[in-house]
């Protein structure tokens, strides 16, 4: 259930998760930018390749931070039941925007590996704006009410199928009657 009966706490936790992810990954990004040649040297001994990787690591470190925001907010949007919007946005941003930009920057503008990552960085930036907007503007309280009703209906269905007239069944039935009435008064 969304927020364990407290939708505003769920929203605060969603924000807290984004802040924590950005903090942790930003630390990694700082390390990447302080030691680009040493990091590149861990994967190859070729001087030209090390130079290319070291030149690309700054844009890649920004991408990693934005990707962390997207990863956390995609989970938040899933909790809000809006995952279809994120899936379509991801496809459009990566394939309709990111891939063409990566190809233009990488080949046509001769920016090589840096250009490929720059194209995807711009796509990820737009995607983060979309997903963050969905999380920030979501009506967490309304979503919680909808989730509570869905859970109660599932419980009632299970109890009816078991032919159970227990106090739990009576309580669930009563709550299902009261919740729609309470929503009319809000």
Most confident residue range from 7-16, 109-118, 167-176: 109-118
Task: Count Cβ atoms within 10 A of the Cβ of residue 82 and give its class: 0-12 exposed, 13-18 middle, 19 or more buried.
Answer: middle
Most confident residue range from 10-24, 144-158, 164-178: 10-24
Domains of the chain, by residue range, sit at: 2-138, 143-185
* CA-to-CA separations, 140 to 7, 50, 102, in angstroms, rounded: 6, 48, 37
Task: Say what the alpha-carbon torsion angle 65, 67, 72, 78 is, to the nearest 10 degrees.
Answer: 160
Average pLDDT over residues 92-112: 97
pTM for this model (two decimals): 0.74
Over the stretch 61-83, which tens digit does the pLDDT of each residue have? Answer: 999 999 999 999 999 998 888 88
Q: Is the pLDDT of residue 176 over 80?
A: no
Does the CA dihedral 157-159-160-162 come out positive or negative? positive
Over the stretch 28-57, which tens digit does the pLDDT of each residue have? Answer: 999 999 999 999 999 999 999 999 999 999
127 and 161 Cβ atoms separated by less than 8 Å: no
* CA-to-CA separations, 180 to 59, 174, 183, in angstroms, rounded: 51, 11, 5
């Amino acid at each position: 259930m969304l927020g364990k009966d407290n939708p505003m706490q769920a929203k605060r936790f969603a924000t807290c998760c984004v802040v924590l992810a950005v903090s942790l990954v930003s630390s990694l990004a700082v390390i990447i930018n302080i030691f680009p040649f040493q990091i590149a040297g861990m994967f190859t001994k070729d001087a030209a390749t090390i130079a290319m990787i070291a030149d690309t690591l700054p844009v890649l470190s920004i991408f990693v931070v934005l990707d962390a925001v997207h990863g956390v907010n995609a989970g938040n949007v899933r909790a809000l039941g809006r995952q279809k919007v994120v899936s379509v946005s991801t496809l459009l941003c990566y394939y309709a925007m990111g891939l063409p930009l990566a190809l233009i920057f990488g080949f046509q503008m001769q920016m090589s590996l840096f250009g490929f990552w720059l194209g995807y960085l711009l796509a990820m930036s737009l995607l983060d704006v979309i997903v963050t907007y969905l999380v920030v503007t979501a009506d967490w309280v309304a979503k919680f009410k909808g989730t509570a009703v869905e859970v109660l209906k599932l419980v009632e269905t299970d109890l009816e199928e078991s032919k159970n007239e227990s106090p739990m069944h009576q309580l669930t039935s009563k709550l299902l009657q009261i919740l729609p009435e309470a929503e009319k008064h809000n």
